[in-house]
Amino acid sequence: MLARAKVNLFLHVTGRRADGYHLLDSLIVFAETGDEIALAPSDRLSLIIDGPFGAGLDSGPDNLVLRAAHALRDLTGVGAGAAIRLTKNLPVASGIGGGSADAAATLAGLCGLWDVAPGRAALLQIAGRLGADVPVCLDGVPSLVGGIGEELAPARGLPPAWLLLANPGIATPTPAVFKARQGPFSKPARWADPPRDFDAFAARLLGCGNDLTEAAISVTPVIRDVLVALASLRGCALARLSGSGATCFGLFADEASAGEAEAALRAARPTWWVTAAPMARQAIAR
């Protein structure tokens, strides 16, 4: 099962609650690339991690995948277990929701394996306790996200587009970025109607931003180099940080231009993680 990469096309910090959590307004989409979750019947819960970014990751009970599995089992009263394999294809602590997507895919997959249907509301409650990005990853569709991640509304009518993801290979912890953030809060950037085509889509996104960009650059300075490199590629309509970074993305109109840009960036920056993928426009069939 694919746990797709989450991409914040824009991210505005609109306030801060008394408990310290920041309030956000974001348009989140998913790229057709990501980690893989495989499930098999077992009498106990276990997790094996492999893949290009799997080395050194903790597969113990604190892993978000196992926490999701235990939470679902507690909710449903299922006595069965599962042998879970996580193939980690996405960089860790990279702003594209890898761990959150893994947890969401685990919840959806185990509902099928265990033949349980707790309902969307109950699953979203579990997801929210696991992490701010898990609810939107559970839905897996383009979404406008508010609050601390619990306010979800579908973003319908987005045109086809391609995303070129680039990460310089430096983990960028989200708490450090939020701690470094300075300046006033932004206004929400909701749209009354969907963009009519790719050019209108890109123009609207250019009118928004990612309020964590400068903070992320202060934590991981090479992010600025990634943004500059993406923006210089032919056909790139927008270059922006995703989430708290360090992954950045370029927005492209079609596969040909994204593929050409991917090849050029890989040649210029062979040590970076670089991949092009279409922007997903509907949920994965579970």
Catalytic machinery residues:
6, 133
State the Cα–Cα distance between residues 197 and 10, nearest whole angstrom.
18
Backbone angles phi, psi at 139, to 5 degrees: -70, -45
**H-helix or E-strand spanning residue 252:** strand 248-252
Task: State whether residue 283 is helix, strand or coil.
Answer: coil
Q: Please state, in angstroms and as integers, the Cα–Cα distance from residue 116 to each residue in 29, 78, 119, 127, 228, following that order.
A: 27, 8, 9, 16, 48
Which residue, 26, 2, 27, is CA-closest to 13? 26
Closest by CA to 42, choosing from 19, 73, 1, is 73
Beta strand pairing status for 81-87 and 248-252? Answer: unpaired
Distance between CA atoms of 252 and 256, rounded to whole angstroms?
A: 9
Residue 176: how many CB atoms within 10 A of its CB?
15
Label the pairing between strands 45-50 and 273-280.
unpaired
Residue pair 188/283 in contact (Cβ under 8 Å)? The answer is: no
With beta carbons less than 8 A apart as the criterion, state whether 239 and 88 touch. no
Phi and psi at residue 183, in whole multiples of 5°? Answer: 100, 175
Q: How many residues does the chain have?
A: 286
